[in-house]
Amino acid sequence: MSPRVSIGMPVYNGAPFLAETLDSWLAQDMGDFELIVSDNASTDDTPRILEEYSRRDERLRIQRRSENVLAWENFNGLVQHASAPLFAWAACDDLRHPSYLSRLSEALDGDPDAVLAYAHTVVFGDPNRERRRAKRAATPGLEDRKIDRLISLLRTKEWYLIYGLIRAEVLRRTRLFVWPMGFNADVGLCLELASLGRFVHVAEDLVSFRLHPKAMSIDPDEPTRTHPGRRLDEAALEFAAGLDLDPRERKLFMRQLRVWCRKAQKPRRSHWKSAGFRSVYVKTSQAFIDLLRP
């Protein structure tokens, strides 16, 4: 019999925090899950730690790559090994509250039309960044209409919701993480999931996101960080064209996407170098987009 939830954890040289992270997952109050770890040819103590934990708990399954691949490829490969109707990605350095799986699975059970459930995220590990990110993030993707969900996602500032609980059959209908792409692979997957159904939010602090110098979202040596990001390049336009949108939805989405990408770009040397001017531009553009929505 397949488990209720499959958890996919990609890892590469994650030894410093791996044991603590595994402990937080194996301590879930809902025990009906499998934890699949894909070791991306680690050269540190990661293989030994995984072997030790797999002997201790049969829910842990290990996949080992003989050669190191791009991080997103390691993420995507986990989906084919999952057997449960619900799926969640797990970073090898983050932590989960013991009721994470039970609370999010209850949320999806209570809303059969929802495709993803996510909770509040607490940031820890770096006091300076913690203070900067202390403001409670918005809760995008809850809207009934598809275009409203997509626009709300492009107006959010955090993308921790990708570590929510996802219906596996819906996830397999997406292109998973696509890279390189001008607005980043996690953003693209969230947008594609939102185009297939609404999200549900659990207003509890169930995810702890660790910030440290070698975190994938921070480390300048991580290959995925070399891409400029948030640009309407050819790959981004190709991805956007593949979203299931009618002509009116597509026009509104592309307007908002252009605003979202431009907001992230470096100031121009002329009038655009004023951060205040850019802020007014973005807010005015968003208000205009809202007026165009049916």
In terms of phi and psi (left: phi > 0; alpha: psi -120 to 50; beta: otherwise), the region of 74 is: alpha
Contact yes or no for 118/104 (Cβ under 8 A): yes
| Burial class of residue 236 (count of CB atoms within 10 Å of its CB; 0-12, 13-18, 19+) | buried
- Claim to verify: residue 78 and residue 157 sit in the same structural domain: yes
Number of C-beta neighbours around residue 144 at 10 A: 8
pLDDT digits (tens), the chain, 294 positions: 789 999 999 999 999 999 999 999 999 999 999 999 999 999 999 999 999 999 999 999 999 999 999 888 999 999 999 999 999 999 999 999 999 999 999 999 999 999 999 999 888 876 665 544 445 567 999 999 999 999 999 988 778 899 999 999 999 999 999 987 777 888 999 999 999 999 999 999 999 988 877 666 555 555 555 555 678 888 889 999 999 999 999 999 999 998 888 776 655 555 445 555 566 767 777 786 877 787
- Claim to verify: residue 171 and residue 88 sit in the same structural domain: yes
pTM attached to this predicted model: 0.87
- Boundary (domain end) residue, out of 189, 207, 225: 225
Q: How far apart are CA 193 and CA 4, in angstroms?
A: 20
- Boundary (domain end) residue, out of 202, 225, 248: 225
User: Which pLDDT does position 76 carry in this prediction?
Assistant: 96
Question: Which residue pairs, CB below 8 angstroms and at least 24 apart, start in 247-254?
Answer: 248/147, 248/294, 249/146, 249/147, 249/150, 252/147, 252/151, 252/289, 252/292, 252/293, 253/147, 253/150, 253/151
Helices assigned H by DSSP within the chain: 15-26, 46-56, 71-77, 100-110, 127-132, 146-154, 168-171, 185-196, 234-241, 247-264, 275-292
User: Which pLDDT does position 53 carry in this prediction?
Assistant: 97
β-bridge partners, 189: none
Contact yes or no for 148/141 (Cβ under 8 A): no
- Boundary (domain end) residue, out of 225, 256, 283: 225
Strands 60-64 and 165-167: unpaired
Structure-token pair, residue 196:
């297939």
- Claim to verify: residue 91 and residue 154 sit in the same structural domain: yes
- Give the number of domains in the chain: 2
DSSP string, 215-237: -TTT-TTSGGGSS--S---HHHH
- Claim to verify: residue 68 and residue 13 sit in the same structural domain: yes
User: Which pLDDT does position 252 carry in this prediction?
Assistant: 95
Contact yes or no for 10/92 (Cβ under 8 A): yes
- Claim to verify: residue 187 and residue 214 sit in the same structural domain: yes
How open is the CA angle 256-261-266, to the nearest 5 degrees?
A: 140
**DSSP summary character for residue 69:** -
Total number of residues shown for the chain: 294
User: Which pLDDT does position 277 carry in this prediction?
Assistant: 56
Describe the strand order of the beta sheet including 165-167 as a list of residue ranges: 60-64, 33-39, 5-11, 86-89, 165-167, 116-124, 199-210, 95-96
- Claim to verify: residue 81 and residue 152 sit in the same structural domain: yes
- Claim to verify: residue 166 and residue 238 sit in the same structural domain: no
Domain that holds residue 278: 234-292
Structure-token pair, residue 280:
């007014």
- Claim to verify: residue 168 and residue 271 sit in the same structural domain: no
- Claim to verify: residue 56 and residue 95 sit in the same structural domain: yes
Q: What is the CATH number of the domain that holds 209?
A: 3.90.550.10
- Claim to verify: residue 90 and residue 162 sit in the same structural domain: yes
- Claim to verify: residue 121 and residue 99 sit in the same structural domain: yes
Q: How far apart are CA 283 and CA 294, in angstroms?
A: 19
- Claim to verify: residue 106 and residue 173 sit in the same structural domain: yes
